[in-house]
Amino acid sequence: MAPDEAVVGCTGKLVIGTRGAGGPGEVLVRVRGGTETFIAYSDEPLTRDSTVLVIESLGHRQVSVMAWSDPLLDPPLGGDGGAR
């Protein structure tokens, strides 16, 4: 099965945590006007309920993901948040 490029760049939530090199988890991704599940691989273990970004489609409903926090919703810690 060919890679699913529509899912690359989408965010999702892990319904089953990944184990890094130890094995995949499962991610629920907002795509095509709905949500779909994919087998999720990551370089490092990620816990259930983590928000992730899909960085690659591996075909056969498998994706590579990385931890993600929306910079507009979750500003970086420290500093004054731009207040003057």
Tokens read off for 15: 């319904």
Q: Is residue 79 part of a domain?
A: no
Q: Is residue 28 part of a domain?
A: yes
Q: Is residue 78 part of a domain?
A: no
State yes or no: pLDDT of 84 exceeds 60: no
Higher-pLDDT residue of 84, 13:
13
Cβ within 8 Å of residue 62, ≥6 positions away: 24, 38, 39, 40, 41
Q: Is residue 40 part of a domain?
A: yes
Q: Is residue 76 part of a domain?
A: no
The boundaries of the domain holding residue 54 are 5-67
**What's the CATH number where 19 sits?**
2.40.50.140
Instruction: Determine the Cα–Cα distance for residues 44 and 66; give it in Å rounded to an integer.
Output: 8
What is the per-residue pLDDT across 27-75, written as a single tens digit (0 to 9) for each?
Answer: 999 999 999 999 999 999 999 999 999 999 999 999 999 999 988 877 6
Q: What is the mean pLDDT of residues 8-29?
A: 97
